[in-house]
Structure 1
Amino acid sequence: MTTRPTSTFGHVALIVAHCAGMVDLVALPVWVGTLIQHYQLDPQQAGGLATLFLIGAVLSSVFLASRFQRVKGRWVAAGGYALAATCFGVLSQPQDYATMALLHGLGGLAAGAALSVTHGTIARSANPHLKFAIVGIGLGVFAVLFLGASPKIIAATGGHMLFVLFGAVMLVASLVCAAGFPEPEREASAVDAPVARIPRAVWFGIVGISAMALVQSMTFSFLERVGSDRGYSLGLITGVFVVMGLVNLLPAALAAMLEKRWNPRSVLLAGPVIQVLLAAVIMNAPSFYPYAAAASVFAAVMIFTHTFAFGLLARLEPSGRAMAATPAMLMVGAAIGPVLGGTLVKTAGYGSLGLAALLIGCLAVLCMSRLPGQAPALLQQEAA
């Protein structure tokens, strides 16, 4: 197998690109909460804008995934994040709802393209599980900084600052990617031919991760709002965000340490169950402390589980095409989450999110049960 090592700056570029493209995983509660509080949108409208961004990411990811081996990753990543930065810069100025919707969708298309080539490049590394864990640790550091600072900055300066912060993140990612985005470590000749069929087990994994992403975004979008509506102060909620960011430093590192010790299938079966239980606690907790405890570790479950899923699926489908569609598999669920959550909250209250999470979580467990524990040679050859 022919490989090329990735430089230190190349690793930094992948980390920065991953953080920018996965900003929704970190910022959804601040995003939706700001749109409701500062832009006076109802939960359905606010969730709808976040959904449009995520739909855009899904569409561009689906388009690029099958073409991953034929595009220049550096320029797709740099150009995509530059366009996303422009969209957020325009959003920082007063706009009507229709214009905001258009810019959210266009920004999602741009960021999704950049994130697709990022994840495809990671999948074509010598050890995709470890590489994805590394960028996951970077995302945890980014979460600490963003969640610790952004709520207070937005409260002090106004809702437009949310889009200024998003634009700055995208601009930095564009510059870093232009300067040092790496080539895939494994040569195209070392992987399956582009026409090879993706193994059936990989499709079950994709649907399972999408279902977990739906529960994640549906719950996470209203994490700040449910706390605020229960009377918890901005200081308390910001404290929960800071703790959440610190906790998020751990799951990717733990996933890297446990790669050879824990069976991936067992992790993928347990992840949706734990996620559903935490979602139910967040939306139905009678007091602050159960809410805070569940919220603090909620995103960590998704990060830990997805690291194992990425490593297993990348070995089951080693061409990188399926993992280049990682934004699609995450965001097709995440795209539905904000608007579905907003509709449920608007019509049936926060408690209804817990029941919806249970139903979706059952689908995730069913799909994960169809995955093998490892990536045997037979399944790797099934695509041929």
Structure 2
Amino acid sequence: MIRTDSKRGRIALMVAHCAGMVDLVALPVWVGVLMAHYRFDPQQAGGLVTLFLAGAVLASLWLAPRFHRLRGRLVAPLAFAASGACFIAAASTADFALLALVHLAGGVAAGTALSVTHGTIGRDANPHKLFALVGIALGVFAVVFMAFVPRVVQSAGGPVLFQVFGGLMVLAAVITAFLFPDMARPSAGEAAVAVRADPLPRAVWLGIVGVGCMALVQAMVFSFLERMGNARGFGVQPLNALLIAIGLVNLFPAAIAGLLQKRLDAAKVVLGGALVQALLAIVMTWSSGFEPYAGSASVFVAVMIFSHTFAFGLLARLDPTGRAVAATPAMLMVGAAIGPVLGGTLVKAYGYPALGTAALIVDLVAAVLFACVLALRSRTGPSGAAVPRTSSPS
């Protein structure tokens, strides 16, 4: 039996997290390829990425309530293999309708695999620590991706991006087929909660919506990072260097979040993260100079990674059954799904500064929601969990 705290199990979870969260890393390259190489307008390019993310949301919403009844070791590799097939098919066509179909199907498959991955992480004795670990892996993946893929796409053409995505999904399918952990069996109390399907606590729902709001801002602004810089005449080389710098910066937030687990209040961290995200979005979208644009862009994703690591641990404590964190792809991607097409529509109608205005409004809503989580949690105790965990943190 492969456990979540074993070396093999953690390798599988790290690979699965990187493959399932590829959108968090690749959004600006993805949208940029669809606009520059396939000649789609901002709304069309954003719409295609939205279809992928919407498919992931639908899959996660369906799967999360049933997570405790599924075998992750079977579901994850089959779903990753299906997503890989969709991306390989996308590399062979430039037809918008066909690309839309494979984006949607690929998103459903990837969202399914990612849901069982996050649900399994949430059943670990220390989900915050394990989620920080897979976040570090995502940071390493981001550096490698940004260092090589944009250059390869520039020289070999847009379809190469989908070939890379397809290869990543196939690799994840192979590794999870052999190494994916068996889901830890719930305690008697947790099993009773799962069987009764008790409603999730109010604080959990507020936290889920708040994370979704931050994901919306993340996708809406980050999707057009490369195109924004291109439109302002910053040049290909500086923009490629910026993408690599973003990957390097992203190596650290998950690790720092793991180290600070017991030193910072999770609810306060996500509340502050929403406000910092709004500030960075405004600077990035409203500034005309390269320095403020690049400075804010370089840490924009890091804020989301750092904040979400704490949010994941908080939700895992508030709902020990694993249902809330199994819905992580839904809470992230329901916002991310709206982000590219909403961002494309705003850019098409009002220009890039409109992204900053919209980000400010949405992040203020997120901050209010997280403030409510903080208030509710203070009434029910530090964990807010209806059923305590029986295993000690690793």
Return the TM-score normalized by structure 2.
0.94
Alignment-derived partner of residue 357 in structure 2 = 355
In the alignment, what sits opposite 1:176? 175
Equivalent of 2:199 in 197, 200, 224: 197
2:368 aligns with 366
For these two proteins, the number of residue pairs brought into alignment is: 381
1:33 partner SS: helix
Q: Secondary structure at the match of 1:125?
A: coil
1:33-182 to 2 correspondences below 5 Å: 33-182=32-181
SS in 1 for 2:386: helix
CA shift for structure 1 position 269: 1.1
The question of whether the paired residues in 2 share the 8 Å contact of 1:125 and 1:186 is answered with: no
Within 1, Cα distance between the matches of 2:119 and 2:68? 9
Say which of 289, 310, 313 aligns to 2:312: 310
Partner secondary structure for residue 198 of structure 1: coil
Following TM superposition, by how much is the alpha carbon of 1:378 offset from its aligned partner in structure 2, in angstroms? 7.7
1:381 aligns with 2:381: no
Structure 1: distance between partners of 2:297 and 2:30: 16
- Other-structure match for 1:8: 7
CA distance in 2, matches of 1:5, 1:314: 15
Please list every run of 5 or more consecutive structure 1 residues that lacks an aligned counterpart in the other structure. none
Q: Distance in 2 between matches of 1:143 and 1:207?
A: 26
Equivalent residue of 1:371, what SS? helix
Selected match of 1:214 from 216, 224, 241: 216
Residue matched to 1:327: 329
Paired position in structure 2 for 1:295: 297
Q: Is the 8 A contact 1:280 1:355 kept in 2?
A: yes
On the 8 A contact 2:93/2:99 being kept in 1, the answer is: no
Structure 1 residue 277 and structure 2 residue 276: aligned?
A: no
| TM-score calculated relative to the size of structure 1 | 0.96
Residue 286 to residue 69, structure 1, CA distance change in 2 (3 Å): same
Q: Distance in 2 between matches of 1:170 and 1:321?
A: 24
| SS of 1:249 mapped into structure 2 | coil
Q: State the alpha-carbon separation in 2 of the partners of residues 271 and 367 from structure 1.
A: 12
Task: Give me the identity figure in percent.
Answer: 54
In the alignment, is residue 26 of structure 1 matched against residue 25 of structure 2? yes
Deviation at 1:185, TM superposition (A): 3.6
d(CA) in 1 for partners of 2:286, 2:382: 46
The answer to which of 287-296 and 299-308 deviates more is 287-296
Aligned-pair distance for 1:94? 2.1
1:370 counterpart SS class:
helix
List alignment gaps of at least 5 residues for structure 2: 389-394
Match of 1:245 among 244, 247, 254: 247
Amino acid at match of 1:57: A
Superposed CA RMSD: 1.6
Question: Structure 1 253/345 Cα, relative in aligned 2: closer, same or farther at 3 Å?
Answer: same
Amino acid corresponding to residue 318 of structure 2 in structure 1: L
Judge conservation of contact 1:140–1:249 (CA < 8 Å) in 2.
yes
User: Secondary structure of 1:93's partner?
Assistant: coil
